[in-house]
Chains A and B, each alone.
Chain A
C-alpha cells in the first residue's frame, strides 16, 4: 500500500475492578447544559429525615430496580426519585431516598447515593471517550459529555461486557437524534474509531503464507473465492478523516478538513491496527472480494468504474495483490 499508513498500537484499555468515581464528584459539580447528574443531590433541598423512618419492607427486586432508576436518571437524584420508573418499585413520596438509604455520621442519604449516580455517568462517558478520542476532542469538553449522556439514555448497556457499550454510537451520531454541530464529520470519525475497535478485537485467523499461495493452481483463480481476514474493514466516508484522526490522536494542532470523499482500509497486522486510504479502484476490488466475488467478478466490477484503464489496471494488479498478501488480508481460497 503506497499511501500513508497510520498505526494504532494501543492495547485495550483495561477496565479495572475499581469502578471510576474520581471525576465530576463532590468538589466540583459538573453541570452539562441542564443535565445535573453530577451535581449535588439533584437540585432538591435536603429532606434529611426529620420524620421517623417507617420500617422498609421492600424486597430485593424492588430495591435494586428502584436504585437503578434513581442513580441512572440524567436529571439527577431528585428527578430519579420522582420518576415513574423508580416509583413503580418504591414510592414513599419526596423523602423516599431517606426511607431506603441510611445516612452516615458525615453524610446524608442523598450525598451517599449521589456517589453512585456520579459514578454511573462519568464512568461510561470516560469509556466512550477512550474508544472515541477523536470524537471527544473534536466535539469538545461541553458537547462530548452531552452527546455521550444522550447516547447512554437511548442505548444503556445491556451486556456484561463494556466492549459492546458503544457499538451503536456512530449510527447514533449520524442519526440526528441529538443536536450537534459538524454532525457528518463527527459521524465519519466515529465510524472509523468504531472500526478500529472492532478490528482490534476481531478473531485471529492465520493469513495465507507465500508457500500456500504458490500451491494454488492458476486454474483455481477463475472460479474460487479468496477468504478475507475478519480483522479488516473497508469504509467509504464523506470527509477525509484519516489524517485528521492521526493528527488529533498524536496531539498535533489541526484544522477541520473540507468535505471530500475518502475510502479507507482498516486492518490488523501483528496485532496492531493500521489505517490507509484507498483509491476508488482498489477499494472496489477489495470490497468485491470481501463480499464473496470471484476474481473475474471483482475485475468486472472494477471495469465498470468511470475512467477505467484496462492496461494500467492489469499492470498494477500483481503489486496490489502482493502488498495485500503481505499485509495478511487473505486467509484462504474456497
Chain B
C-alpha cells in the first residue's frame, strides 16, 4: 500500500546538499538538479558571499532547510532568537519545509555542536513532544525531524527508537525526515533489526529521505558522510520508496567531497531503485 504524505508535501525528486566547494560550479553550469537542501546555520549570521549565493540558488531551484541547532531534546529552554532567524530565512528562500534532528546539542547554556542521543523513554517523549508543539506554533508549519546516527544507548531507555519516533510524530503532529543511512548506522551500532525499524515508521509523516555514506570501523559505524551509499542502504531506500511512492530524496556528502557531477550521479542512482521498487509493488498487488 502506497501511503501519501499527510500534508501533501511534494516529492521534490533527487537533490543534493548545497556545499561551499560546489558554489562556483552550480552558479556557472546551472546543473539540472531537482532541488537543494540548505544547512540553515550556515546562512543565519552572514550577509556576505554565502547569502548572495543562496539567493541565487533559491531563485533557480526548490530548496528545503535543514538545521543542526534546534536541540529539541535538550532540557535547556528553547532559543527563540535562533527560531526567529530561522523563520526569517525560511521565508526569504521560500523553503518547502524546515527540519532538524531528534537530538540535543548542549545543556547549561553550552553547545557542543554535536547531535547527541536521548534516552528513549516516556519522560523524554513527553518533553520532546511539548517542545515540538511550541516550535511548530511559533514557526507556523510542521517540523520535519530526522532520526540521527547514534553511538550509545542508555540504561534507562524503555522503547525501540522506531516506536519512540512514531509516537513522537503522532503526538506532536510533526513530519519526519527518514535518513536511511542513519537507520543502517544506528542498527549496526546497537544490534537493532533495520527491517523492524523501517516497519515501525509512520510513512504518511515521512516528508524527506536522506542518503549518505558512512565509515565502517568493524566494531561500529560512524556517520561520516564521506563516501558513496552502500548497497544495504539502497535496499532500505527501495523499501521506503515502495511504501511511499516517492518522497523528496537528498544525498548528503560532507567530507572528502568529490566534484559536483560525481555527487549528483550518486543520488541519480536512486532512479533505478525507485523503478525496481515500483515494479515489485505492482507485482505484489
A residues in contact (CB < 8 Å) with B:
10-22, 25-26, 53, 55-61, 63-65, 67-68, 71-72, 99-102, 104-107, 109, 111-113, 115-116, 119-120, 123-124, 156-165, 200-204, 231, 268, 271-272
Q: A18-B225, A53-B155, A101-B152 are in contact. Are A163 and B220 (CB under 8 A)?
A: no
| Residue B75 is within 8 A (CB to CB) of chain A in the complex | yes
How far is B152's CA from A102's CA once the two chains are assembled, in angstroms? 7
**Interface 0/1 of B1-27, CB less than 8 Å to A:** 000000000000000011110010000
Chain-A contact segment, one of B42-50, B133-141, B162-170, B196-204: B42-50
Taking a contact as CB atoms closer than 8 A, the residue among A25, A105, A111, A157 that contacts B112 in the complex is: A157
Taking a contact as CB atoms closer than 8 A, the residue among A107, A156, A158, A201 that contacts B48 in the complex is: A201
Chain B's closest residue to A16 (CB) is: B254
- In the A-B complex, the 3 residue pairs with the closest CB atoms: A16-B254, A160-B69, A271-B49
How far is B255's CA from A19's CA once the two chains are assembled, in angstroms? 10
Q: A60-B118, A160-B82 are in contact. Are A17 and B254 (CB under 8 A)?
A: yes
Report the number of A-B residue pairs with Cβ-Cβ less than 8 Å. 196
B residues in contact (CB < 8 Å) with A:
17-20, 23, 39, 41-42, 44-53, 66, 68-69, 71, 73-75, 79, 82, 101, 104-116, 118-119, 123-124, 127, 149, 151-157, 189-191, 212, 215, 217-220, 222-226, 252, 254-255
B255 touches A157 (CB 8 A): no
A69 to chain B, nearest CB (A): 9
How far is B212's CA from A203's CA once the two chains are assembled, in angstroms? 34
How far is B223's CA from A156's CA once the two chains are assembled, in angstroms? 24
Taking a contact as CB atoms closer than 8 A, the residue among A20, A25, A56 that contacts B154 in the complex is: A56
How far is B156's CA from A250's CA once the two chains are assembled, in angstroms? 52
Taking a contact as CB atoms closer than 8 A, the residue among B101, B115, B156 that contacts A63 in the complex is: B156
Taking a contact as CB atoms closer than 8 A, the residue among B39, B69, B110, B151 that contacts A16 in the complex is: B39
B108 touches A68 (CB 8 A): yes
What are 23 pairs between A and B in contact, CB < 8 Å? A12-B42, A15-B113, A16-B255, A17-B252, A18-B212, A18-B224, A22-B255, A25-B222, A56-B154, A60-B127, A61-B107, A63-B119, A68-B107, A72-B110, A100-B154, A104-B191, A115-B151, A116-B114, A123-B113, A157-B112, A160-B105, A201-B46, A268-B48
Chain B's closest residue to A49 (CB) is: B155
Residues of A within 8 A of B23 (CB): 11
Chain A's closest residue to B20 (CB) is: A11
- Which of B123, B152, B215 counts the most chain A CB atoms within 10 A? B152
Residues of B within 8 A of A99 (CB): 155
Chain A's closest residue to B79 (CB) is: A160
A270 to chain B, nearest CB (A): 9
B184 to chain A, nearest CB (A): 14
A163 touches B46 (CB 8 A): yes
B39 touches A71 (CB 8 A): no
Q: A104-B190, A112-B152, A202-B48 are in contact. Are A162 and B113 (CB under 8 A)?
A: yes
Chain A's closest residue to B123 (CB) is: A60
Q: A12-B42, A16-B252, A60-B118 are in contact. Are A71 and B109 (CB under 8 A)?
A: no
Q: A11-B20, A15-B42, A116-B116 are in contact. Are A271 and B48 (CB under 8 A)?
A: yes
How far is B101's CA from A125's CA once the two chains are assembled, in angstroms? 24
Residues of B within 8 A of A159 (CB): 111
How far is B41's CA from A160's CA once the two chains are assembled, in angstroms? 8
A101 touches B114 (CB 8 A): no
